[in-house]
Structure 1
Amino acid sequence: MSLSIQHLPELSRFQAVIDGHICLIDYRLDDKVMHVLHTLVPQEVGGRGIAAEMTRFALETASNNNWKVHPVCSYTVAYLKRHPEYTHVL
């Protein structure tokens, strides 16, 4: 799946609009540590891999900016367990 994901640093958010529904990942950045707080994909567009694609995008953004990641969000914790290629950002 290829989504049009926006990084909105002024809102501390990654966002995509799918079929009119806002999907998002909220985070807080403290001294180059991105605390991933919340992932939301509305039920109406769920089951399409949107959360996974957005999480990958967020982790790539962290990696490209030399940020570390503190996964507070349970979805992000589970994603990182399934994708050990991102352990370098933890």
Structure 2
Amino acid sequence: MDGVTITHTNQGDHGTYYAHVEGSRFIGRLEWTQKDNVRVIEHTVVPPEIGGRGVAGVLLDRVIVDAREQGFKIGPKCSYAAHKFAQHPEWADLVG
């Protein structure tokens, strides 16, 4: 998605992906906790001011890429992530 920059903080046992939308002061975020080799997606939050643009999908896509590159599994706990994982059987190998 053009105009969105993703940044990430990793505190070891938890972290957050941030979606910075060009021209907006509002930031979407995806929060996770670490349990063994599984990043559990706890919350995906997109403010209404930047909603409807695919921001949550961009955040989740970044987690998918990182999981494939870094070798961790994903626990899709939040309702958005669980719904998207149900729609994408090609991600089944990442579920931990």
Aligned with residue 54 of structure 1, among 59, 68, 77: 59
Aligned with residue 82 of structure 2, among 77, 80, 84: 77
Identity over the aligned pairs, expressed in percent? Answer: 29
Match of 2:33 in 1: 28
Q: Does residue 87 of the first structure (1) align with residue 87 of the second (2)?
A: no
Question: C-alpha displacement at 1:81, in angstroms?
Answer: 1.4
Q: Does residue 65 of the first structure (1) align with residue 54 of the second (2)?
A: no
**3-state SS of 2:57 partner:** helix
Q: Does residue 17 of the first structure (1) align with residue 15 of the second (2)?
A: no
Give the TM-score of the pair, scaled to structure 1.
Answer: 0.91
For 1:84 and 1:56, locate their aligned partners in 2 and report how far apart those are by CA, in whole Å: 14
Number of residue pairs matched by the alignment: 90
**3-state SS of 1:37 partner:** strand
Query: Larger C-alpha radius of gyration, 1 or 2?
Result: 2
Q: Which has the higher helix share?
A: 1
Question: C-alpha displacement at 1:53, in angstroms?
Answer: 1.1
For 1:54 and 1:39, locate their aligned partners in 2 and report how far apart those are by CA, in whole Å: 8
Match of 1:42 in 2: 47
Amino acid at match of 2:10: P
Question: C-alpha displacement at 1:17, in angstroms?
Answer: 1.9
Question: C-alpha displacement at 1:20, in angstroms?
Answer: 0.8
Gap runs ≥5 in structure 2 = none
Question: C-alpha displacement at 1:84, in angstroms?
Answer: 1.8
Question: C-alpha displacement at 1:34, in angstroms?
Answer: 0.5
Deviations 1:22-61 (A, max 9, x none): 1100000121110000000000110001101111111211
